A and B are shown apart, each in its own frame.
Chain A
Amino acid sequence: MKPELGELLEQRSLAFYPGCVATSIYPGVIYSSIKVLEKLGFKVSSPEHMICCGLPLEIAGMMDRERLVKLADYNLRNFIKHDVLVTPCNGCYRTFNIALEAAASSNASNKARCLHVAEVLWSLREELREVAKTSLEGLNVVTHVGCHYVYAMPSKAIRGEEGEDLLEDIALSLGMKVLSYEEKATCCGATAIKWPRVLEALSPISKLKVTSMVESGADLMVVMCTACQLMLDRTQYQLWSLGELDRVIPVLHVSQLVGLALGLHPLEDVGLHLHLVKPLHLGASSITGLFRENDHSGSPS
């Protein structure tokens, strides 16, 4: 286990940094993450201000690594104010870790560590199994870990033990069936920019990814990055609207999935009604009933 993860499990106190996408598009990920962590015995603080990590500006060629490090330092010292930062976004995870490594190599005094909420949940998956109030058995899931966790920080990435990746491990611990799909290692395409100009290049990779995941027959997708969540949610909705996809499935962040298992309300707490691709039956009395349709002919509602 990563030393910083072991330390966190002992001290059980952290600051939760949501990132821009969760803040402005999927606040259910924020609430689910905080409530799940609290139910697992963590003391969770929130930043005084949510300040972007800077990755969008970096990929647009508008910001360099030196300024990213300065921004991260300003963010940590003035608003996050905790030695342990936990985030639900792979981009923020990668950016803060790069900044903290750069600070460490220059002997700067900031000793903060950045972990991913999926890592925390993965390390406590046995405990999740015991405290789960709602059964997710019977649901089929496909997972997408995301490039900025797997490839950008490979030495820090946690690999799967029971399954192929940490998300599969978590899903299996909750009694779900994990399906495989051909494009599992493919990028979701979220970091493509200049959308209007590169639509021809973007559409193939995102469509490839989404089609492969949907054709697996899964009831839902599970991700650990809010940027991936947005890309997969939006791409499905767009392709369905264009008639290029005849079935769509909800994309849940792992925090939302675990939140459902621990008894959080699908709409009031987890915010599934805010997604573009919503569960088939928002008013279902069971979690399985939210996602299952006999003829698998779901559509955005």
Chain B
Amino acid sequence: MGVLMKRGEPCEDLWLCLLCHACEAVCPNAVRIPEIVEEMRRILVDKGLEQSDLEVYLEVLDNILSSGVMMVPVSAEVRSFSEAKELSLRPLSDEVRNKLREIIKFEGSGALEGLKGEA
């Protein structure tokens, strides 16, 4: 653990893991390694030991809370195709948005607080 977490400092190595589960698949002791990495990431984020590189994920969070999906349609061509095939997103009601906020409940901490936006 000391290799991956330095007390009170962000840990770059923790974020290099691709969470591909390949290690878990071959681990002779069936250790659920990706879950450990995910939990360690949560600890770092909760403690505010992360930097603004996660800003893009705050944008993802805002998109999910406001429209349900992590990104808006990337181009006018995508929007046109979706409209033509009746695949366009329906706007979320306030009730649904509030419920998502309640369930996801990311409050952030430390360095991320100032970057957290509103839906």
List chain A residues, Cβ under 8 A from B46.
61
Beta-carbon nearest neighbor of A151 in chain B: B21
Beta-carbon nearest neighbor of A23 in chain B: B69
* Distance of B51 from chain A, by nearest CB (Å): 8
Q: How large, as a class, is the contact surface on chain B?
A: 35 or more
Choose from A27, A65, A191, A197 the contact partner of B18 (Cβ within 8 Å).
Answer: A191
List chain A residues, Cβ under 8 A from B74.
24-25
Q: Does A196 contact B (CB under 8 A)?
A: yes
Bound form: Cα–Cα A67–B107 in Å: 13
Q: Is the CB of B18 within 8 A of A205?
A: yes
Q: Is the CB of B104 within 8 A of A54?
A: yes
Q: Does A292 contact B (CB under 8 A)?
A: no
Beta-carbon nearest neighbor of B73 in chain A: A24
Bound form: Cα–Cα A148–B20 in Å: 6
Q: Is the CB of A191 within 8 A of B75?
A: no
Q: Is the CB of B81 within 8 A of A61?
A: no
Beta-carbon nearest neighbor of A35 in chain B: B85
Q: Is the CB of B70 within 8 A of A56?
A: yes
* Distance of A171 from chain B, by nearest CB (Å): 23
List chain B residues, Cβ under 8 A from A63.
104, 106
* Distance of B43 from chain A, by nearest CB (Å): 8
* Further contacts, 4 of them, CB under 8 A, given A27-B81, A151-B22: A23-B89, A51-B64, A197-B53, A205-B18
25 contacts between A and B (CB under 8 A): A23-B87, A24-B70, A27-B81, A30-B87, A50-B68, A56-B60, A56-B70, A57-B104, A60-B41, A61-B41, A62-B45, A64-B42, A70-B103, A71-B100, A71-B103, A152-B21, A154-B25, A187-B18, A187-B22, A191-B18, A193-B54, A195-B56, A198-B12, A205-B18, A274-B75
